[in-house]
Amino acid sequence: MAKGRRYLIAGNWKMNGFKKDGKELAKAVAKHLKAAGKDDLPFDLLVCPPFTLIRGVGKAIKGSGVKLGAQDCHAAEKGAHTGDISAPMLKDLGCEFVIVGHSERRTNHGEKDADVKAKAEAAIAAGLTAIVCVGETLEQRDKRQTLAVNRRQVKGSLPKGANARNTVVAYEPVWAIGTGRTATPEQAQEVHALIRAELVKALGEKAGQAVRILYGGSMNPKNAKELMAQPDVDGGLIGGASLKADDFWAVAQGCL
Ligand code: PGA
């Protein structure tokens, strides 16, 4: 809030959990928010379960203030795309957010910037907020390509019509995801500042300053506060630590 942007703490559950676990985790997260009194907190809390759990989790968090999101969507509105899920379907389930272009999707499903952009635009058209992920690999960082790679990904993946309401950017260095190796606050801020500059260039000063930029990659209760204190870090996209309600909540405390 001090930065004029509300923090977003987003849990990316990835491919984890069955009905019972999902419900329990969601309820435990909601309980923390309720106990804290949701009105005067400087952050939004979001959970992004796998597709199979969205409905149950939605029921479990109903009325709690915890927001609901998904981890991917197809770029088309509907049609012959066996096994895929469209953005309007997610909206229909009560989602407000969808992650697009996560590095695991870029790697495992060959998604390119143009695909990510198309998905983000589909999300916006459906009334969702797209969380657009970017980030360099270790090899790219070692070759000193970090800034160039992130610049290229932001430019290529940013949806048309992006604004602070419909778009969030997440910087997730691939080498920090699930590895326990976190970017230092300085490393994170360096890239966040670059992303901020690209957003301002693309969207103008006001909107560019208003879009939230999350950090993701082994964020945990210990390192969250330092990361979130950086001028352009507006929250986190949290994998492993979002699977335990207490840890997820402790990460959110880093915003205070
Ligand atoms: P991690 O995952 O927190 O487990 O590193 C983050 C992410 O991939 O979104």
Are the C-beta atoms of 102 and 135 separated by less than 8 Å?
no
Asked whether residue 119 is assigned to any structural domain, the reply reads: yes
* 27-47 pLDDT tens trace: 999 999 999 986 789 999 999
Give nearest CA residue, ligand 1 atom 7.
239
| β-strand pairing of 235-238 with 129-134 | unpaired
Ligand 1 centroid to residue 125 C-alpha, Å: 27
- Residue to mutate (ligand 1; options 9, 12, 14, 243; most atoms within 8 A of CB): 12
pLDDT tier for residue 2 given thresholds of 50, 70 and 90: low
Ligand 1 centroid to residue 180 C-alpha, Å: 9
- Residue to mutate (ligand 1; options 13, 72, 237, 251; most atoms within 8 A of CB): 237
Range of the domain at 55: 7-255
Judged against a pLDDT cut of 90, whether residue 109 lies above it is answered with yes
> How confident is the model at residue 1, as a pLDDT?
46
Asked whether residue 85 is assigned to any structural domain, the reply reads: yes
Asked whether residue 147 is assigned to any structural domain, the reply reads: yes
CATH classification at residue 112: 3.20.20.70
Neighbours of 30 (CB within 10 A): 22
Q: Mean per-residue pLDDT for 17-24?
A: 97
Report the domain count for the chain. 1
* 45-54 pLDDT tens trace: 999 999 999 9
> How confident is the model at residue 46, as a pLDDT?
98
Q: How far apart (Å, rounded) are the C-alpha atoms in residues 2 and 22?
A: 33
> How confident is the model at residue 37, as a pLDDT?
86
Q: Which amino acid is at 202?
A: A
Q: Mean per-residue pLDDT for 10-27?
A: 98
Q: Is 220 in the pocket of ligand 1 (CB under 6 A)?
A: no
Give nearest CA residue, ligand 1 atom 1.
239
Q: How far apart (Å, rounded) are the C-alpha atoms in residues 249 and 143?
A: 36
> How confident is the model at residue 129, as a pLDDT?
98
Percentage of the chain modeled with pLDDT above 70: 99
pLDDT tier for residue 3 given thresholds of 50, 70 and 90: confident
Give nearest CA residue, ligand 1 atom 2.
239
Asked whether residue 1 is assigned to any structural domain, the reply reads: no
Q: Is 11 in the pocket of ligand 1 (CB under 6 A)?
A: no
pTM strictly above 0.85? yes
Computed over every residue of the chain, the mean pLDDT equals 97
Give nearest CA residue, ligand 1 atom 6.
239
* 196-218 pLDDT tens trace: 999 999 999 999 999 999 999 99
Ligand 1 centroid to residue 137 C-alpha, Å: 14
Q: Is 236 in the pocket of ligand 1 (CB under 6 A)?
A: no
- 185, two tokens: 């606050």
Q: Mean per-residue pLDDT for 169-181?
A: 96
DSSP 97-116: EEEES-HHHHHHS---HHHH
Asked whether residue 217 is assigned to any structural domain, the reply reads: yes
Asked whether residue 146 is assigned to any structural domain, the reply reads: yes
Asked whether residue 2 is assigned to any structural domain, the reply reads: no
Ligand 1 centroid to residue 242 C-alpha, Å: 9
